[in-house]
Amino acid sequence: MVIGRRRMSWQFKEKTPTWFYVLAGLLMADTAVHFGLSLMVSSWASPKRDALHMHPLPFRDGVVYFVGDALGWYLGAWWISVVLFAILVVLLVVNRAKLERTM
């Protein structure tokens, strides 16, 4: 560790734009919901297929839980976070003139 060396970071020259807060919030919310649902799936999902729980959710340990179609689609949509992050990066690159590097 070098004494006296400060960390460099990026910040907006003016006020942080609303689109940044919205995209960052959506990204964090989507990640939290995906993680929370996956962590708690054994307490609320059905271990057997029935009329309401038709979508399978296989896990690495070999257990397969069944959920409703809409929830199953959402839990399988890993690409949502990737798309939100890509949009955030593209908007940051497009607006790079509004960013400044600080010490």
At 73-85, the pLDDT tens digits run 998 899 999 999 9
| pLDDT band (50, 70, 90) for residue 61 | confident
Q: Mean pLDDT across the chain, nearest whole number? A: 89
Give the largest CA-CA distance in the chain: 65
Contacts 24+ apart (CB under 8 A), 37-42: 37/71, 37/74, 37/75, 38/75, 41/65, 41/67
> What is the average pLDDT across 53-74?
87
User: Is the pLDDT assigned to residue 103 strictly greater than 90?
Assistant: no
What pTM value is reported for the model? 0.78
**Under a CB-based contact definition with an 8 Å cutoff, are residues 52 and 68 in contact?**
yes
| pLDDT band (50, 70, 90) for residue 7 | confident
Residue 84 makes CB contacts below 8 A (sequence gap 6+) with 23, 26, 27, 30
